[in-house]
């Protein structure tokens, strides 16, 4: 049971990280301030 939650947490974290990187790429391509990009690495 605990392992299931652990794997689910890892999957969700990876998914969120990938989604945030995609958003950051879109934001950076609009040449907005870069402060959004380094925020991703703290997730």
Report if pTM > 0.75: no
pLDDT score recorded for residue 23: 85
1-43 pLDDT tens trace? 678 888 888 888 898 889 888 888 887 776 555 565 556 555 5
What is d(CA 10, CA 8) in angstroms, rounded to the nearest whole number? 5
Q: With the C-alpha atoms ordered 21, 26, 28, 34, is the resulting torsion angle positive or negative?
A: negative
CB 43 within 8 A of CB 20: yes
Burial (CB < 10 A; 0-12, 13-18, 19+), residue 20, is middle
What is d(CA 18, CA 41) in angstroms, rounded to the nearest whole number? 11
Domain boundaries, the chain: 2-40
pLDDT score recorded for residue 39: 60
């Amino acid at each position: 049971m605990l392992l299931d939650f652990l794997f689910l947490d890892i999957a969700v974290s990876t998914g969120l990280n990938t989604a945030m990187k995609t958003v950051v790429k879109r934001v950076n391509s609009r040449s907005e301030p870069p402060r959004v990009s380094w925020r991703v690495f703290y997730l």
